[in-house]
Amino acid sequence: MKKMTSEELDERFDAGEDVSGVLDVAALRRPGLEQRRVNVDFPAWMVEALDREAKRLGVTRQSVIKVWIAERLEHQRRTAA
């Protein structure tokens, strides 16, 4: 199979063609968004509060933590600019 150039892909996409069949999604990379594991110890009262909020929202504790930290970092980024 001949490799398609990015220009050819752009042209086909811009023409409204379905290009999903030529994309190798297994090779996709998301620079800066790779997952890295960290361990954080919280006091029991914080874990309980996080669990209550997670249950209220219908998501996992980890999701609550990620969203809250992301919101805070975005706020910091905006105020630093």
* Residue 76 falls inside a structural domain: yes
Instruction: List, in sequence order, the alpha helices (H) in 1-81.
Output: 6-14, 44-57, 61-80
Report the distance separating Cα 73 and Cα 70, nearest Å: 5
* Residue 1 falls inside a structural domain: no
Question: Model pTM greater than 0.75?
Answer: no
* Residue 65 falls inside a structural domain: yes
Q: pLDDT confidence of 1, banded at 50, 70, 90?
A: low
* Residue 73 falls inside a structural domain: yes
pLDDT, one tens digit per residue, over 42-56 is 999 999 999 999 999
**Beta carbons of 12 and 20 less than 8 angstroms apart:** no
- What range defines the domain where residue 33 resides? 6-80
Q: Quick count: other Cβ atoms within 10 Å of Cβ 64?
A: 19
Domain count, the chain: 1
